[in-house]
A and B are shown apart, each in its own frame.
Chain A
Amino acid sequence: MEKMKLIAGILVFGSLWGFSECIIGSALHDAGLPAGAIMTGLFAVVLMMMSRMLYKQRGMQIGMGIVAGTLRLFSPFGGNVGYFICSAIAIMAEGMIFELIWYNMSLDLNELKPLKISSSMGIVTAYCCYVGGYIVTQILTPVLSSAGFHIVNLIVFIPQMLATGLLAALIGGVVVPVILLLKKLDITVKDRLYYPTTIGVSILCWFIVIANTILISST
């Protein structure tokens, strides 16, 4: 695969992920719903699975996590740049954990064909991404802040992190088999439309997030 095509793919899928975290994630959070588990189990897993299916490239999801995490830093819903560093770190970690889990899976995803396997893989992926991302951010955010890291703060909260991951796991168990059904559909973009589409969608995602940031901070 052309390098430029892959970079454009990382950019568009990462931007869509970041956009959903900023806009939908914040709305879910404001509505009092478990935003983190829903965002990981649904949006993050769907976008990473789709990119895996369409591009069949290892390492792509790490790049997507970096793009999405960077966009999260410019989140529109309150705070200064840096306020959402915790979410940004979690998103980047999720991309890396996904890559680790899926590293030894075949790129054509044929070994996931039985429903039991695809659903199990969804459960494991969503749970590990959510809990792993949560733990990583609980370590790195204090390290990067003026308060400093205290290991006791992490240890006492581990049961809660393991518990809240259950919802993400259940969502992942449903979502992955559904996404694999899309394999039968022929989703291709004509070559001449590929770059305008991917770049256009990416710019739109960043524009909406940054415009929201400016609008909200000025009101």
Chain B
Amino acid sequence: MGKRKLIPIFALIVLLVGSLSSIYVYATTINSEYINVNDRDYTIDQLLFIGEERTIETYTGIALDDLIVKIGVSNPEKHEYTIIAADAYQKTVKWENMKNGLLTKNRESIFSDLPKSFRVRDIVKIEVI
């Protein structure tokens, strides 16, 4: 089959994959006002009350390491932490990173020692692994 036939077929496949994925993402996006931390649900205001404040450049929020300690995770340095967004975007970080991270009031994670792709927006879960 020549290029002239293959290229439109590939384009159709691309449009089909993109459209079906959009439907799947729309159907599976989680809408929750809670953030699940180590299997317990909290509102962002509760978390702001629990954790101590930290500022990184122009961002202010709850210190992630302090939050983990205060919700009662034992041996926090022996765990890794997966931060999960409503759209399934997730990033796993180490305890050393948590010590340089914060959770903003807008439910966003900021790390001073990690690249921009570790900024997870609209967080719904922080999993301790």
| A-to-B contact residues, CB < 8 Å | 78-79, 82-87, 104-105, 111, 114, 116-117, 119-121, 123-124, 127-128, 137-138, 141-142, 145-148, 150, 152-153, 156-157, 159-160, 162-163, 165-166, 169, 173
B28 to chain A, nearest CB (A): 8
CA distance A105 to B6 in the complex (A): 13
B105 CB contacts on chain A under 8 angstroms: none
- CB–CB A119/B11 < 8 A: yes
Residues of A within 8 A of B93 (CB): 147
Q: How far is it, in angstroms, between the C-alpha of A146 and the C-alpha of B118 when the chains are bound?
A: 11
Contact, CB under 8 Å: B25 / A163: yes
Consensus secondary structure, chain B interface: helix
- B90 an interface residue at 8 Å Cβ cutoff? yes
Between A and B, 23 residue pairs with Cβ closer than 8 Å are A78-B57, A82-B115, A86-B115, A86-B116, A114-B4, A120-B11, A121-B7, A123-B14, A124-B11, A127-B14, A141-B115, A146-B113, A146-B114, A147-B93, A150-B92, A153-B82, A159-B28, A160-B87, A160-B88, A163-B18, A166-B15, A166-B18, A166-B21
- The binding surface of chain A is classed by DSSP as helix
Q: Are B89 and A157 in contact (CB under 8 A)?
A: yes
State the interface size on chain B (CB cutoff 8 A). 35
Interface string of B44-76 (1 = CB under 8 A from A): 000000000000011000000000000000000
Give which listed residue, B8, B28, B82, B90, contacts A120 with CB less than 8 A.
Answer: B8
Q: Which residues of B contact A137 (CB under 8 A)?
A: 117
